[in-house]
Amino acid sequence: GIQVEQSPPDLILQEGANSTLRCNFSDSVNNLQWFHQNPWGQLINLFYIPSGTKQNGRLSATTVATERYSLLYISSSQTTDSGVYFCAVGNTGTASKLTFGTGTRLQVTL
Partner 1 sequence: GEEVAQTPKHLVRGEGQKAKLYCAPIKGHSYVFWYQQVLKNEFKFLISFQNENVFDETGMPKERFSAKCLPNSPCSLEIQATKLEDSAVYFCASSQSGAGYNEQFFGPGTRLTVL
Instruction: Note the residues at the interface with partner 1 (CB under 8 A).
Output: 30-31, 33, 35, 41-43, 45, 48, 50, 84, 86, 88, 90, 92, 94-100, 102-103, 105
Cα–Cα distances in angstroms (integers) from residue 20 to residues 86, 93, 97, in the given order: 13, 29, 26
Judged by beta carbon, residue 13 or residue 89, the one nearer partner 1 is 89
CB of 73 to partner 1, least distance (A): 20
CB of 12 to partner 1, least distance (A): 17
CB of 85 to partner 1, least distance (A): 11
CB of 4 to partner 1, least distance (A): 10
* Percent helix, strand and coil across the chain, each to the nearest 5: 5, 55, 40
Judged by beta carbon, residue 42 or residue 53, the one nearer partner 1 is 42
Distance CA 63, CA 41 (A): 26
The order of strands in the sheet holding 52-56 is: 4-7, 19-25, 69-74, 59-64, 52-56
Judged by beta carbon, residue 13 or residue 103, the one nearer partner 1 is 103
Nearest to 87 by CA among 98, 76, 75: 98
